Amino acid sequence: AGVAIAEVPKLEQKDKYKVGFAQTESNNPWRIAQTNSMKAEAEKLGFQLVYTDAAGSAAKQVADVNSMIAQGVDVIFLAPREEKPLIPAVMAAKKAGIPVILLDRSVDPSLAKAGEDYLTFIGSNFVEEGKRVAEWLAKNANGKSKIIELEGTTGSSPANDRKKGFDEAIKAAGGFEIVASQTGDFARDKGRQVAEALLQAHPDADVIYAHNDEMAIGAIAALEAAGKVPGKDVLVLSIDGGKEAVQAVVDGKIAAVVECNPRFGPKAFETMMRYAKGEKIDPMIINDDKFYDASNAAAELANAY
């Protein structure tokens, strides 16, 4: 075996940086809020931002990172679409001497390590998010027990971990059954279509757990089209906490949402500059997530992205 360099490339201290941000897709309000937050912070600091949008393709995202390397950026912020396919991009940046900071999604921990191959992961604890949804359900199910799970993008860290956290906690709670679990790719219309098919196959399902707001909103459309009343016949649960979903909680259509905050800009750039100063950076920087249900949604609506 060759000699692996167990160190993240250094970052020089400078007044102005050229920074890459490799976004994964822009098909939902969460992604747009994240991009806007990154752009606003770069502008505030007077840094040049090289922004790319992989449009839902891991292969394009790898190419985007390679192009940033060729353009000589100082640092790369990467929101890896899936855990495994983005490993070559992380390794290529390391080899080129460019530190990588993972934003909001992670890569396979057996293939790339924080503090060695990339600097750190900044984002939510997705296992915990799924667990919080399950624990809320266990307390507030009112006899409902047959769950349809709409998974996020296959192979992405939030889909893997939101499933793990929820499934384990719901099993531990006892009395529930996940009757179907299928991907809706974190997308509204895919979520609607998958929910429609699964509701036909499992007409007795009375809970829908969606790994993000977009699929939950799609599922609400599927329920209404099937003549069911969301919030009454079927409890809908979600993660993200964007305005539209928090409004749906106010309206009684979504029962509860765990927030996943997309406003990464300030923390992302602050972390990068602390690293340049020579500070030690934690391998994981975990965001605090709020929780919305009927008890606080109206009051929190104005704060939602």
Residues that bind ligand GYE (CB under 6 A): 28, 30-31, 104-105, 158, 186, 212, 214, 239-240, 260
* Closer of 17 and 292 to ligand GYE (Cβ): 292
| Distance of closest approach, residue 173 Cβ to ligand GYE, in angstroms | 23
Minimum CB separation of residue 63 from ligand GYE in Å reads: 20
What minimum distance in Å lies between the beta carbon of 160 and ligand GYE? Answer: 11
The answer to whether the CB of 238 falls within 8 A of the CB of 213 is yes
Contact (CB, 8 A) for 58 and 86: yes
Confirm if 271 and 123 have CB atoms less than 8 A apart.
no
Where do the DSSP E strands lie in 79-234?
100-103, 120-123, 146-151, 177-183, 207-210
Q: Which is nearer to ligand GYE, 41 or 104 (CB)?
A: 104
DSSP-assigned letter for residue 302 = G
DSSP string for 104-115: SS---TTT--BT
Least Å distance between CB 227 and ligand GYE? 28
Nearer to ligand GYE, 47 or 265 (CB): 265
155: left (phi over 0), alpha (psi -120 to 50) or beta: left
Provide, rounded to whole angstroms, the least separation between the CB of residue 260 and ligand GYE: 5
Cα distance between residue 152 and residue 126, in whole Å = 12
Nearer to ligand GYE, 17 or 24 (CB): 24
In whole angstroms, the minimum distance from the beta carbon of 12 to ligand GYE comes to 30
Contact predicate 237/170, CB 8 Å = no
How many angstroms separate the CA atoms of 264 and 181, rounded? 30
Rounded CA gap, 77 and 261, in Å? 17
Q: Which is nearer to ligand GYE, 30 or 136 (CB)?
A: 30
CB of 301 to ligand GYE, least distance (A): 18
Q: Which of 149, 240 has the CB closer to ligand GYE?
A: 240
Given a contact cutoff of 8 angstroms between Cβ atoms, the answer to whether 80 and 86 are in contact is yes
Of 31 and 132, CB closest to ligand GYE: 31
Q: Which two tokens stand for residue 80?
A: 């890896």
